[in-house]
Amino acid sequence: MTVDPQEAYGLITKNLQEVLNPQIIKNVLEVEKRPLKLYWGTAPTGKPHCGYFVPMTKLADFLKAGCEVTVLLADLHAFLDNMKAPLEVVQYRAKYYELTIKAILRSINVPIEKLKFVTGSSYQLTSDYTLDIFRMANIVSQNEAKRAGADVVKQVANPLLSGLIYPLMQALDEHFLDCDAQFGGVDQRKIFVLAEENLQSLGYKKRAHLMNPMVPGLGQGGKMSASDPNSKIDLLEEPKIVKKKINSAFCSPGNVEENGLLSFVQYVVAPIQEIKHGSGHFEFFIDRPEKFGGPITFNSFEDLKQAFKEEKLSPPDLKTGVADAINVLLAPIREEFANNAEYKEAQEKGYPVAVPEKTKKAKKPKNKGSRYPGAAKQTEQVTEQLKEATLADEKK
């Protein structure tokens, strides 16, 4: 099925925060008249969280637009990102991510037959790729590489050299995956610019870059992070834990600017409803107690946002609605995990639970004093020994 170029471009750029080099995309669709080839990469470090619904809704848009979509499971990037994932477990994490991504897309009715999965190490260890890393290292300065990875690679006081290699590899991936565009979060922007500024020096073409907004975490400020358990909700989180985390999330009355819960409704709940029920569909139900006005349904995100801004909707009620909505989204993913032995093995071996070692405390000898059974007998023995020693000395 061929999609009209203008319709395809609209789907590809829908809900994005920024597009670099949009003319490259338009040229592929309108002049070359072929499907756009793009890739989205993810480094399998911590367990995927609810923030992953955002790129998944965009993968749905890309597939609907007829794009050829590749998901890069960047296992070597995960290893390079400050040793977040040891090599011996990273293969299981990559499998866990693949199964999770497929489960998410299936749960929101997205056909995945045309989705291609590639593991980074399948081509990043070849001689051609290695030589290109050296060629990139010869034209990119230390400061440029450090700046490019600043929002992606974990920053520490004494950074490892691996953090400088990471952005060089991500730039090269565009060529080796033979794509027209790379998609990622707006936190990837500096790496995208590095690629645009340097790939042509190696004789490779410039690519377009698509950036979606970052979903704020549950705390005040910051994004949802796989390495910060308090900022995010895992995709296999139990319903009770979801409610507990949402109830403790930052949500100030009337504050719609710094509100991770409203952002989640805007960037996750709303797009998924459109995927499932068609463009423009929005229905957000809150099971509000009768004493506070009873259950309420919002039929547009703007109405929900305005009600919260005017404090007609309280933080506890918004939290109830969001927690219920998340549990509805997670239910089919949890079910798929429960019925998939390969999925369970990937979690078990990719995220082994550390069992704390039990160490026995060394017993200190107690000072029992002289008032315990046998104390008198022991004293008599010591006295006799002292007498014998004294007599022996006198005989000498």
Angle at 48 between CA 329 and CA 95, to 5 degrees: 110
Place of tokens 């990119």: 140
Q: pLDDT-derived band of residue 88, with 50, 70 and 90 as boundaries?
A: confident
Same domain, 205 and 275: no
378 inside domain:
no
Structure-token match 């990139």, residue found: 136
Are 198 and 247 in the same domain?
A: no
Which has more pLDDT, 363 or 152?
152
* Distance, CA of 9 to CA of 14 (rounded, Å): 8
The answer to whether residue 143 is domain-embedded is: yes
| pLDDT value at 390 more than 70 | no
Identify whether residues 254 and 136 lie together within a single domain. no
**Same domain flag for 265 and 346:** yes
DSSP string, 110-160: ---TT-EEEETHHHHTSHHHHHHHHHHHTTS-HHHHHHHTTTTSPP-SS--
In a domain, 362, yes or no: no
Q: What is the largest CA-CA distance in the chain?
A: 120
Confidence of residue 205 (pLDDT cuts 50, 70, 90): very high
User: Taking residues 52-64, what's their average pLDDT?
Assistant: 94
Binned at pLDDT 50, 70 and 90, residue 368 comes out as low
How many domains does the chain divide into?
2
The Cα 261–Cα 304 span in angstroms is: 11
Please tell me the distance from the alpha carbon of residue 28 to that of residue 205, in angstroms, as a whole number: 13
Question: What pLDDT does residue 186 have?
Answer: 93
Tens digit of pLDDT for each residue in 315-331?
A: 999 999 999 999 999 99
Using pLDDT thresholds of 50, 70 and 90, give the confidence band for residue 163.
Answer: confident
Least confident of 5-14, 96-105, 330-339, 350-359: 350-359
**Confidence tier at 68 by pLDDT (50, 70, 90):** very high
Same domain membership, residue 244 and residue 203: no
- Residue 232 domain-assigned (yes or no): no
Is the residue at 29 inside a domain? yes
Instruction: State residue 157's pLDDT score.
Output: 74
- Residues 11/279, Cβ–Cβ less than 8 Å: no
Taking Cα atoms as reference points, which of 167, 177, 190 lies closest to residue 81?
167
C-alpha distances in Å from residue 225, one per residue of 49, 152, 216, 222, 290: 8, 11, 9, 8, 36
Q: Are 170 and 270 found together in one domain?
A: no
CB atoms within 10 A of CB 157: 4
Looking at residue 156, which CATH number applies to its domain? 3.40.50.620
**Residue 229 belongs to a domain:** no
End-of-domain residue from the set 194, 212, 230? 212
Task: List, for residues 2-57, the tens digit of each pLDDT value.
Answer: 789 999 999 999 999 999 999 999 999 999 999 999 999 999 988 999 989 999 99
Quick check: 336 pLDDT over 90?
Answer: yes
Summarised one tens digit per residue, pLDDT across range 111-120 is: 998 899 999 9
pLDDT of 79 above 90: no
Q: Give the span between the Cα atoms of 21 and 25, in whole angstroms.
A: 8
pLDDT per residue as tens digits for the range 189-202: 999 999 999 999 99
Determine the Cα–Cα distance for residues 78 and 4; give it in Å rounded to an integer.
38
Q: Are residues 172 and 63 in the same domain?
A: yes
The least confident of 52-56, 159-163, 300-304, 376-380 is 376-380
pLDDT in tens, 232-285: 899 999 999 999 999 999 899 999 988 989 999 999 999 999 998 888 899 999
Q: Is pLDDT of 168 > 80? A: yes
Q: Which segment of 26-30, 101-105, 108-112, 226-230 scores lowest on mean pLDDT? A: 226-230
- Asked if residue 250 and residue 159 are part of one domain, the reply reads no
Q: Band of the pLDDT at 227, cuts 50, 70, 90? A: low
What integer pLDDT is reported at residue 361 of this predicted model?
A: 61
Under 8 Å CB-to-CB from 228, ≥6 apart: which residues?
217, 222
In a domain, 261, yes or no: yes
Reported as a pLDDT band with limits 50, 70 and 90, residue 182 is very high
Q: Above pLDDT 90, what percent of the chain? A: 68
- 62 and 185 in a single domain? The answer is yes
Residue 323 and residue 188 share a domain = no
Q: Indicate the SS3 state at residue 71.
A: strand
Q: Kindly indicate the confidence band of residue 156, based on its pLDDT and cuts at 50, 70 and 90.
A: confident
On whether both 205 and 272 belong to a single domain, the answer is no
User: Is 227 within the bounds of a domain?
Assistant: no
State the amino acid at position 319 in one-letter form. K
The residue that leads in pLDDT, 393 or 80, is 80
Q: Which residues span the domain enclosing 28?
A: 5-212
Q: What is the CATH number of the domain that holds 290?
A: 1.10.240.10
Same domain, 91 and 128: yes
pLDDT at residue 392 in the model: 59
Which of 85, 74, 83, 48 is CA-nearest to residue 163?
83
Mean pLDDT of 340-353: 94
